[in-house]
Structure 1
């Protein structure tokens, strides 16, 4: 098989189209409404911290349920799991638009988070099932690029719909119902080996999840979404509203810079991955995160902030495909969904903790929330740069030492 055939993207495949749709829906839940978080404070009469709970309630189920959803998928198949998730996501998300009490909003977001918790992990699982080698890298890159394009579009859509009414963006979640109906008739079940007994399965999964090379992936996944959801989608949204007086549509436009840069970088991941190992790409990605946060900290205009957000998107575009491909390749198909479930659980944990930590610390440990947000951008930005450079240097030295040892042998 030629190199071109190995990396061919199966655009006409209904399975591949379903993968992209699941990924796009899985990433919709926060970017679509992040530009209207400041407006929701007035709608429901809530504080910054309570506004952050709208995100936290959505992300919390993923922390606890994603590995379990991976287990169900490994045992009962991909199709019987993904279809109910699509319908649950759409129904509960759209219901928020009917302006229930804030406590009910949090409950609906919790249920919507249950629906979202498995969609992205099942998308990557299907890619692992259906493709391998260079084609798997290329398809994961395209999937990441589609996520980036979607995430770039969602803030714009959310901001534009919010100009009609605060509740209109929530109606957009109903698109998941359409995808669910289409998948009901078009998605076929991939062939995987029969799973072992539960005890054997649990033992194998525990051993795989605790491998040293896996532990580093979990840590990187957590901090990637901790910084993105806490530092960018929550903190920066509030700063742009309170300090610069930007409306939801303008905030959405700035946030799209992250996702467009992510989409551009992820689309080239198949090529980029040929130059450096995945772990070193992750380290460089964190340097990009740190440079972006520090740049936002010192920026004095919305235009400058938008420019610095591009750095975050570029880092995101190499970190996420690297984490996905490495995790998918660690184990066989029998454990793939569960291992990707653990990875996604760490992502959800970062999503859940980030907004609470950033808003909670800023409001309670500083004289003003704005001063707290600025300090946290500086603190975590510096930490990401130092940490990323340190890990990159360590891995480079380790790789060099291994190569030298091989030559001597």
Structure 2
């Protein structure tokens, strides 16, 4: 079946994480603008990111079950439509309502529900399309994760550019990008007939999931923790940088977007190269994760200390970005290739939920700690990374 996957099918799959990443990361550089325009605190502005992620966390496992039971595409399309509606709600409220904060959060929740049923389902879909070919699965997952990380590179630039025209334009742009993805998925993703899902009652599904977690939990739980850790560190650092670039370095607007894109570009390049190199080899995957974790653990410690020197800050965050970028496609491949097709959607959904936990927690934690406990928080992040490295060495066996 892998030979029949068209280039447009691959582009369509890659568009989903790209759109969903833009839907969240694009708002980070413009949060200070939202604070001024809407009259909200730094913590409240962080909830614009968190509300999206919390909705996704709660609903991703349900979406995974539904995709296993009824099919991937049947879940993905309505989810993209919800993301489209969420952007319209948040954008229209910002445009027309005097106190739009509540409606912005409602719109963001709609988008989070959409994200829950779109991005996580791509991982098992790739496994379905390239079944029994781990090398092509790894390569395709590398492209998918690169699309995700490329979205992170574009996000600060596009977010700042749109907000320079109208401060609420980023919300409407999310709907526009979602519409493009809807069209691509509808016309170009063709799920093979032998990949259609078997209907499984909920009780049987829960029982089977418990069995998998009991059998494979030793290596799955560390992978889930790694998903949460990488996104926690990444979004905490991005939130901090968005704030510090304005307050300490007087860098605003599109210029700030380009500066934020530098470490994210390194993340994107590392993700693409790693996806090409791992080729379904679990021993190589483990080495990549260990090296990436050690690098990230040491790198994150110095973010606060480097914050007064822009060149040093970009060097440290670029190294951190490359380390995280190398780990992401490796974790994707490990999850997708390590679980049988029938339960793949469910288990990858737990992994995706863990990543969204990190996304949700990063900005609000940083908003609360960066004034008084900045370096302590980053040192704690480094210590957590070292502990996770020990977990990986002990529990993930090639």
Q: Same fold (TM over 0.5)?
A: yes
- Identify the residue that residue 137 of structure 1 maps to in structure 2: 138
Q: CA deviation at 1:298?
A: 2.1
- Identify the residue that residue 198 of structure 1 maps to in structure 2: 202
- Identify the residue that residue 365 of structure 1 maps to in structure 2: none
Aligned partner of residue 296 in structure 1, secondary structure: coil
Q: Flag the 1:390–1:201 CA change in 2: closer, same or farther, 3 A.
A: closer
2:301–2:378 contact (8 Å) kept in structure 1? yes
Q: Flag the 1:257–1:276 CA change in 2: closer, same or farther, 3 A.
A: farther
Measure the CA separation in 1 of the matches of 2:31 and 2:304: 21
Q: Flag the 1:109–1:237 CA change in 2: closer, same or farther, 3 A.
A: same
**In the alignment, structure 1 residue 68 sits paired with structure 2 residue 68:** no
Q: CA deviation at 1:391?
A: 4.8
Q: Superposition pairs for residues 76-91 of structure 1, below 5 Å?
A: 76-91=70-85
Q: Flag the 1:293–1:192 CA change in 2: closer, same or farther, 3 A.
A: same
Structure 2 counterpart of 1:209, from 208, 213, 217: 213
1:192–1:333 contact (8 Å) kept in structure 2? no
- Identify the residue that residue 252 of structure 2 maps to in structure 1: 247
2:278–2:285 contact (8 Å) kept in structure 1? no
Aligned partner of residue 244 in structure 1, secondary structure: coil
- Identify the residue that residue 376 of structure 2 maps to in structure 1: 375
Q: Superposition pairs for residues 25-36 of structure 1, below 5 Å?
A: 25-36=19-30
Q: CA deviation at 1:205?
A: 1.2
What are the superposed Cα offsets for residues 169-207 of structure 1, whole Å, 9 maximum, x if unpaired? 222112111221332233323324524333222211122
Deviates more, 1:127-136 or 1:202-211: 202-211
Q: Superposition pairs for residues 395-406 of structure 1, below 5 Å?
A: none
- Structure 1: where are the runs of 5+ without partners? 1-5, 363-368, 400-409
2:61–2:350 contact (8 Å) kept in structure 1? yes
- Identify the residue that residue 123 of structure 1 maps to in structure 2: 122
Deviates more, 1:325-334 or 1:105-114: 325-334
Q: CA deviation at 1:160?
A: 1.4
- Identify the residue that residue 332 of structure 1 maps to in structure 2: 340
Q: Flag the 1:209–1:254 CA change in 2: closer, same or farther, 3 A.
A: farther
1:31–1:151 contact (8 Å) kept in structure 2? yes
What are the superposed Cα offsets for residues 310-351 of structure 1, whole Å, 9 maximum, x if unpaired? 112211222111211111122221111111101001111111
Measure the CA separation in 2 of the matches of 1:125 and 1:243: 44
Measure the CA separation in 2 of the matches of 1:129 and 1:84: 20
Q: Superposition pairs for residues 152-167 of structure 1, below 5 Å?
A: 152-167=153-168
- Identify the residue that residue 310 of structure 2 maps to in structure 1: 302
Matched length: 382
Structure 2 counterpart of 1:354, from 334, 356, 362: 362
2:159–2:170 contact (8 Å) kept in structure 1? yes
1:288–1:314 contact (8 Å) kept in structure 2? no
Q: Flag the 1:95–1:277 CA change in 2: closer, same or farther, 3 A.
A: same
Measure the CA separation in 2 of the matches of 1:275 and 1:336: 18
- Identify the residue that residue 168 of structure 1 maps to in structure 2: 169
**In the alignment, structure 1 residue 287 sits paired with structure 2 residue 294:** yes
What are the superposed Cα offsets for residues 180-238 of structure 1, whole Å, 9 maximum, x if unpaired? 13322333233245243332222111222342111111111111111112x21222222
Structure 1 counterpart of 2:189, from 181, 184, 187: 187
Q: Flag the 1:104–1:171 CA change in 2: closer, same or farther, 3 A.
A: same
Aligned partner of residue 370 in structure 1, secondary structure: coil
1:225–1:347 contact (8 Å) kept in structure 2? yes
Q: Flag the 1:214–1:324 CA change in 2: closer, same or farther, 3 A.
A: same
- Identify the residue that residue 3 of structure 1 maps to in structure 2: none
Q: CA deviation at 1:134?
A: 0.7
TM superposition score normalised by structure 1:
0.86
- Identify the residue that residue 258 of structure 1 maps to in structure 2: 263
2:234–2:321 contact (8 Å) kept in structure 1? no
TM superposition score normalised by structure 2:
0.88
Aligned CA-pair RMSD = 2.4
